């Protein structure tokens, strides 16, 4: 691994690679990308780009240039918990185990953990990240080296009467950042009032919204049948459990969002209601009736799947084919290192490929580029190599004549060259550099 240098080319530059994978059409052999400042201004065959553009050439050699990867869901707070929590039989036990570990950590530990997480994500070619933090007050102490959407993860289980205050105090810190959103943690830890407050703020400030939904069997058991270990655990914490015993988590969510969380809502879910574009994480546990609802719903929220965290917990098989055929935009995320081994999206893509070998490597790469860009409302700025898009690029070796997308998914080392927002942040030994 060569020394990391952060710099921006003084003027326009042409970056040449053996192949350019634009995610906007066929890969371009002997291709190049012209970058001016923090924008891509041209892309095509190297000879054509040279003829049309001025600027020095940086040749990344026998490598493919691809759009920077986008992690649609993670919690860098818990980078320091890698390998610390063995898989538990019960999801509720896992929550207890992580809570015990968290109680040992100080704000200083969290700042170090988040910083370490950013470095690891960057090392593996992630140029943009949707990061949930339970500590928005610490954001000012971290300098992200990559594009970051900060989501305040909000839990009001111990003080639901303070839901508004909790959301309002979080946005003070979030507004110091350029891209932010709110994450009421999950239906079982965030009150209806908290969801309602977050939706109101999102409408007012055009902010993003994300939440964990239908993650575990125990969550399904809790909401549908008012039983099981999660129900027992949360009940013992004093959570009001009167929302349990009839509906699935998805039903409850669709019931709640967009309705203002009114307790007087009609029992029948209005599938034609205009929903905010939530980024829904997990959606592992769905009943057949849930699929009927999803089919009838005219709003397709975004879905984030975290393959290795999913494997760690042993959730029910992820219904990728059905969700995709219903028109949902499925993205990949790493979740936190409390339930995963690395923050590499290459590892995540390979794990997905193992579970879904029939899905083409190109489509899998879309789930870490084009699709998350759409979920983060940046489909016209990130996730592809196109003129006018942000200059976020990653170089990955390609030595064989096998399918380029297959080679990209097989990559498992730190990237040797990448650019974020026009800045080269990792350089090859002996390359033109900057």
Q: Which is nearer to Zn ion, 147 or 282 (CB)?
A: 282
What binding mask, one character per residue, do residues 81-100 give for Zn ion by CB under 5 A, x or -? --------------------
Q: Which is nearer to Zn ion, 72 or 269 (CB)?
A: 72
Tokens 């080392």 sit on residue: 413
Residue 212 CB, nearest distance to Zn ion (Å)?
Answer: 5
DSSP string of 293-315, one letter each residue: HHHH-S---EEEE-HHHHHHHTP
Residue 210 CB, nearest distance to Zn ion (Å)?
Answer: 9
Residue 5 CB, nearest distance to Zn ion (Å)?
Answer: 33
- Residue with smallest beta-carbon separation from Zn ion: 335
- H or E element, residue 325: helix 320-325
Residue 281 CB, nearest distance to Zn ion (Å)?
Answer: 6
Q: Which is nearer to Zn ion, 14 or 183 (CB)?
A: 183
Q: Which is nearer to Zn ion, 199 or 335 (CB)?
A: 335
Residue 13 CB, nearest distance to Zn ion (Å)?
Answer: 37
Q: How many residues bind Zn ion (CB under 5 A)?
A: 1
For residue 190 the two structure tokens come to 């965030």
Q: Which is nearer to Zn ion, 77 or 243 (CB)?
A: 77
Those residues whose C-beta lies under 8 Å from the C-beta of residue 264, and which sit 6 or more positions away, are none
For residue 30 the two structure tokens come to 């002997």
For residue 95 the two structure tokens come to 């929550």
Q: Which is nearer to Zn ion, 212 or 386 (CB)?
A: 212
Alpha-carbon distance of 370 to 352, in angstroms, equals: 16
310-334 burial: b if 16+ Cβ within 10 Å, else e:
bebbebeebbbeebeeeebbbbbbb
317-346: which residues touch Zn ion (CB under 5 A)? Answer: 335
Report the candidate in 204, 161, 208, 206 with the shortest Cα–Cα distance to residue 183.
Answer: 208
Residue 417 CB, nearest distance to Zn ion (Å)?
Answer: 30
Alpha helix segments (H runs only) across 207-287: 217-225, 229-236, 249-256
For residue 432 the two structure tokens come to 């033109």
**Sites of contact with Zn ion (CB under 5 A):** 335
């Amino acid at each position: 691994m060569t020394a990391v240098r952060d710099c921006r080319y003084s003027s326009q530059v042409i970056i040449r690679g053996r192949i350019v994978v634009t995610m906007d059409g066929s890969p371009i052999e002997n291709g190049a990308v012209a970058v001016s400042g923090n924008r891509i201004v041209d892309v095509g065959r190297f000879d054509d780009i040279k003829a049309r553009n001025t600027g020095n050439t940086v040749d990344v050699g026998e490598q493919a240039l691809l759009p920077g990867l986008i992690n649609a869901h993670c919690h860098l707070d818990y980078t320091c918990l890698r390998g610390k929590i063995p898989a538990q039989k019960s999801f509720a036990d896992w929550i207890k185990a992580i809570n015990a570990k968290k109680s040992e950590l100080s704000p200083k530990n969290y700042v170090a953990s988040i910083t370490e997480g950013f470095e690891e994500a960057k090392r593996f070619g992630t140029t943009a990240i949707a990061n949930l933090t339970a500590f928005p007050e610490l954001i000012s102490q971290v300098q992200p080296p990559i594009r970051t959407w900060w989501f305040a993860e909000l839990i009001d289980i111990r003080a639901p009467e303070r839901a508004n205050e909790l959301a309002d105090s979080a946005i003070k810190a979030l507004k110091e950042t350029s891209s932010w959103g709110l994450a009421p943690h999950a239906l079982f830890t965030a009150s209806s009032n908290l969801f309602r407050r977050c939706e109101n703020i999102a409408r007012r400030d055009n902010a993003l919204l994300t939440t964990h939904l239908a993650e575990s069997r125990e969550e399904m058991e809790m909401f549908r049948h008012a039983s099981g270990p999660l129900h027992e655990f949360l009940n013992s914490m004093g959570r009001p459990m009167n929302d349990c015993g009839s509906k699935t988590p998805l039903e409850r969510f669709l019931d709640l969002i967009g309705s203002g969380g009114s307790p007087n809502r009609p029992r029948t879910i209005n599938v034609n209601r205009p929903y905010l574009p939530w980024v829904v994480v997990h959606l592992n546990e769905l009943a057949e009736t849930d699929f009927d609802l999803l089919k009838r719903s005219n709003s397709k929220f975004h879905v984030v799947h975290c393959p290795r965290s999913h494997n760690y917990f042993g959730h029910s098989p992820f219904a990728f084919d059905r969700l995709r055929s219903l028109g949902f935009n499925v993205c990949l995320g790493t979740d936190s290192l409390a339930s995963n081994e690395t923050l590499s999206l290459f590892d995540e893509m390979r794990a997905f490929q193992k579970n879904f070998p029939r899905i083409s490597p190109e489509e899998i790469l879309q789930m870490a580029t084009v699709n998350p860009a759409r979920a983060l409302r940046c489909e016209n700025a990130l996730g592809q190599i196109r003129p006018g898009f942000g200059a976020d690029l990653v170089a990955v070796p390609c030595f064989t004549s096998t399918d380029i997308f297959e080679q990209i998914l097989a990559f498992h080392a730190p990237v040797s060259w990448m650019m974020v927002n026009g800045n080269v942040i990792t350089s090859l030994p002996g390359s033109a550099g900057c």
